[in-house]
Amino acid sequence: MEDQREASPPAELPLRPQDEVECRRCEVHCDKVVHPGACVERNCPFLYAFEEVGHTYVGCMQKVFDVEIDLDLLLEAEASGGFGAVRAARRPLPMCDVEVASCYEAKADELGCVNPEFFELPLGTPSFRVFAQVKTND
């Protein structure tokens, strides 16, 4: 029996793929993830806390991650090996501890990633500068 699925056209790459938080342009699915334990450790100015039902919860005011985590459980996990990462909901800030997590890596083809710029992480400022010099003939 012949496979009757139609080949879908390749998705267009965005202008700045490094600003995206997920990539689904091939069979390997990649997401940017952040470590909320690093936010606590670094005293991130965008980390907020509130108390509810006798527990303190923390979250990100910039909504880089959109979950609120029990602070006691977070600190306990960090002390015993690390809490781990949560999926980034929007572009991470330069001070975020961020990495790219890939799923289904066995499905990668022999040519490699079709969107390698996605793996560029935020640095705060561009890593290069372009200067133009105009020479006039006087």
| Both structure tokens of 119 | 């793996």
Q: Where along the chain do its domains lie?
A: 17-108
Comparing CA positions, the residue from 4, 73, 2, 11 lying closest to residue 36 is 73
Give the global pTM: 0.71
The model's confidence at residue 124, banded by pLDDT at 50, 70 and 90, is low
Q: Read off the pLDDT of residues 43-53 as tens digits, 9 standing for 90 and up.
A: 999 999 999 99
Name the amino acid, one letter, at 39.
Answer: C
Q: Read off the pLDDT of residues 3-37 as tens digits, 9 standing for 90 and up.
A: 444 544 555 666 676 778 888 888 888 999 999 99
